[in-house]
Amino acid sequence: MDYFEELLKKPSIFKDESKLDINFIPDELPHREKELSLLSQLFLTLITNPNSISRKILITGKTGIGKTVTVKLFGDILKKASRKRNISIKYVHINCRKERSGYKVLIKIIRSIHKHFPQRGYSPQDLLEIVIEYLNKYDLHLLIVLDELSYLINKGEDLIYSLTRINDDSMNSQQRLSIIGIVRDISCLNNLDSSTLSTLQRNIINFDEYSREQIFNIIKFRADLSLNQNALSDDLIEMISEILFKNGDIRYGLNILWRAAKIAESQSLKYINAECIRAGNQNLVPYSTQDILKYMASPKLIFLLAIIKSLKVSEKTQISFLDISKIYNIVCENTRLKPRSYSQLWNYLQEFHRENLILIKVKSENIKGRKTFIKIPNIELSKFEKIILNILSHRGLKI
Ligand SMILES: Nc1ncnc2c1ncn2[C@@H]1O[C@H](COP(=O)(O)OP(=O)(O)OP(=O)(O)O)[C@@H](O)[C@H]1O
Ligand SMILES: [Mg+2]
């Protein structure tokens, strides 16, 4: 039997599966034209009068509404426009959550100019000076995008401070560095010193949530790019938009669409039907959650696992911190991990809450004071547990 021939005979739902990938950058973005145009206006001077100004922009808006993809597309547009005019502009997009420390962010910045720059052996101050030296030497303007900037708070404030100041101190009259910061919620930046904050807050572009109609158009646009004609009817796009409208996360919609298409294909259907969408939407762990887990440090991941296990054992919808710590200690014992301090665990809880993994509810209980309860409303526990165990076992940790 010729397996390839058999497979090729099957009707295909996909035209180009890669265009449904979360990281794919389309060359146009429906309903983000206004933001692209605004960014172009703000950065126009980089092209008309190179190195005369330094722009610092902050972008805010909820999860999955196109902040990252819009800025990346803008980066492409800027690179093209500058190349055409022989102006040297470098664009570097850094995800602060993935880099995890100010030092790593700096290394990434340097490597965007010098590919093989060594990982270690320099102080942050050295690195900053090297960046400036390179920019002057190669006559470059660098646009640094600090995506998910909130992850540098408490770890890399100094870096944010220095980067926003670089032009003031060290470059004579040449302005060689611009910054775009991206955060979901501006309040996470409150810990920054007030002058850094005010520098960043001077230009804020807030990305609005998409309306239901806009969500429809966007899903249709991505379906047209990736699926064969007629594989998905407008009614079904409506159905997906309905599901998405609650939280507006397009990333989640692309996931449903991809899974529904795969299900249709596995059943040798010519078209996606409503049942495929339903099945595709079931137990779907959003990609953003999986991504957060993948880059989470192991001690924190183990604490999250303890929360899930405690909720599973208790069979209740919410659980107290005390109950979690009992299970946490057992998990630590099994893995020979030293349990983290109370305050560290408390920090983890706040972070999980910010990352949309858990909900924290504080209840006043008579005179004794307040009690904290933890809930996991969105994700099926056994599935959640499996994903974490999987990640940990890839890191050589068996539980
Ligand atoms: N207007 C649009 N047209 C086409 N695709 C879009 C549009 N807006 C968002 N998307 C797609 O939706 C997904 C989520 O967008 P993106 O990653 O930019 O979200 P985000 O706002 O950065 O979210 P987060 O805060 O979670 O990082 C991406 O795969 C992106 O390509
Ligand atoms: Mg993003």
Residue range 229-245: average pLDDT? 92
Whether 68 and 217 share a structural domain: no
Res. 6 pLDDT band, cuts 50 70 90? confident
Is residue 303 one of the residues assigned to a domain? yes
- Main-chain dihedrals φ then ψ at residue 90, nearest 5 degrees: -105, 140
Res. 163 pLDDT band, cuts 50 70 90? confident
Nearest residue (by CA) to ligand 1, atom 24, is 63
Is residue 156 one of the residues assigned to a domain? yes
Establish whether residue 50 lines the binding site of ligand 1, counting it when its CB lies within 6 angstroms of any ligand atom.
no
CA of 366 to the centre of ligand 1 (A): 45
Ligand 1 atom closest to the CA of 24, numbered from 1: 31
pLDDT tens digits, one per residue of 20-62: 999 999 999 999 999 999 999 999 999 999 988 889 999 999 9
- Evaluate if residue 170 carries a pLDDT over 60: no
Is residue 25 one of the residues assigned to a domain? no
Where does the chain have alpha helices with state H? Answer: 3-9, 33-48, 67-84, 96-99, 102-113, 124-137, 157-170, 194-201, 212-226, 234-245, 250-266, 274-281, 287-294, 298-314, 321-335, 342-354, 381-394
- For a substitution probing ligand 1, which of 250, 252, 290, 295 has the most ligand atoms within 8 Å of its CB? 250
Establish whether residue 251 lines the binding site of ligand 1, counting it when its CB lies within 6 angstroms of any ligand atom.
yes
Whether 198 and 274 share a structural domain: no
The neighbouring-strand residues paired with 94 are 146
Whether 365 and 389 share a structural domain: yes
pLDDT tens digits, one per residue of 308-344: 999 999 888 889 999 999 999 999 998 888 999 999 9
With 0-12 / 13-18 / 19 or more C-beta atoms within 10 angstroms meaning exposed / middle / buried, residue 331 is: middle
Give the number of domains in the chain: 3
pLDDT value of residue 328: 96
Mean per-residue pLDDT of the chain: 89
Residue range 209-233: average pLDDT? 96
pLDDT value of residue 370: 74
Nearest residue (by CA) to ligand 1, atom 26, is 63
Res. 366 pLDDT band, cuts 50 70 90? low
Whether 384 and 338 share a structural domain: yes
Whether 357 and 242 share a structural domain: no
- Rounded CA gap, 289 and 75, in Å? 26
Is residue 247 one of the residues assigned to a domain? yes
pLDDT value of residue 283: 65
Give the domain extent around 274: 11-20+211-284
Res. 80 pLDDT band, cuts 50 70 90? very high
Ligand 1 atom closest to the CA of 67, numbered from 1: 21
- Evaluate if residue 288 carries a pLDDT over 70: yes
pLDDT tens digits, one per residue of 192-207: 888 888 888 889 999 9
Establish whether residue 254 lines the binding site of ligand 1, counting it when its CB lies within 6 angstroms of any ligand atom.
yes
Res. 162 pLDDT band, cuts 50 70 90? confident
Strand order in the sheet with 359-365: 318-320, 369-375, 359-365
- Evaluate if residue 174 carries a pLDDT over 90: no
* CATH code, domain carrying 16: 1.10.8.60
Is residue 75 one of the residues assigned to a domain? yes
Which pTM was predicted? 0.79
* CATH code, domain carrying 77: 3.40.50.300
Q: Provide the pairing of β-strand 359-365 with 369-375.
A: antiparallel
CA 332 to chain centre: 29
